Amino acid sequence: MVLQPVNIYGRHKLEAEQRTQWNLSDSVGLRLTWMYDLPDSNLKLNSNLLLNLQKAVQEGTTIQAATHEFRGVTYVWEVVKNLEKVFSLPGGIYNFGSGNSLNSYELYLQAAGLMGLKEPSTWILPDTERFSEQTRNLTMDGSVIEQYGIRFHNSVEGIQEAILRPFRTQ
């Protein structure tokens, strides 16, 4: 698949990857998804899918989630678990994170359900306008890195696994 970034940020990232590979052919670059940790983590948390859902429930606000956007989200501890294997990869650029086939609206609903949040379809609303002119697809194909024994759950499975068997730093 040929990458065709639609904005300057994406074009600059692709150019940086290409220049790095040209100058340092044995270097390894990792393309990461949006990551999350559980909302009750004792570590510093930035905005993430699960935190956004919990915050919306606590504050009684709604979330507008795009129906024309596709992206993977990855449990940060699954990334950490797989990092050591990266040191033995041959030079190249690798997708390093969870795949996903759901649009953002569907993913938010699934995640809220897995978190046990009540009636998610009443406060997670479909945003059918955003990215309607050109679907935003930030999903990753992990088949190349899987050849080296590095595997990630898909986004929904990863959320479920994180909730059922959370990693704790305490």
DSSP string, 67-108: SSEEE-EEEHHHHHHHHHHHTTPPSEEEEES----SBHHHHH
| pLDDT at site 44 | 82
- Asked if the structure places residue 13 within a domain, the reply is no
- Report residue 168's pLDDT band, with 50, 70 and 90 as the boundaries: low
Sign of the C-alpha dihedral computed for residues 161, 163, 169 and 170 taken in this order: negative
Give the whole-angstrom CA distance, residue 75 versus residue 73: 7
Q: Looking at the DSSP assignment, which residues form a beta bridge with residue 124?
A: 63
Confidence category of residue 19, pLDDT binned at 50, 70, 90:
very high
Q: Is the pLDDT of residue 29 over 90?
A: yes
Q: What is the mean pLDDT of the segment spanning 32-59? A: 92
Residue 11 falls within a domain, yes or no?
no
pLDDT at 91 over 60: yes
The answer to whether 69 and 135 have CB atoms below 8 angstroms apart is yes
For residue 100, being part of any structural domain is answered with yes
Q: Which domain holds residue 120?
A: 30-164
Does 125 reside within a domain?
yes
- Domain with 129 in it: what CATH number? 3.40.50.720
Which runs of consecutive H residues, i.e. helices, occur in the chain? 8-23, 49-59, 76-86, 104-114, 143-146, 155-164
Number of separate domains in the chain: 1
pLDDT greater than 70 at residue 146: yes
Residue 7 DSSP label: S
Whole-prediction pTM: 0.90
Q: Is residue 97 part of a domain?
A: yes
Higher pLDDT: 66 or 46? It is 66
- Residue 111 forms part of a structural domain: yes
C-alpha span between 65 and 161 (Å, rounded): 23
On the question of pLDDT at 143 being above 70, the answer is yes
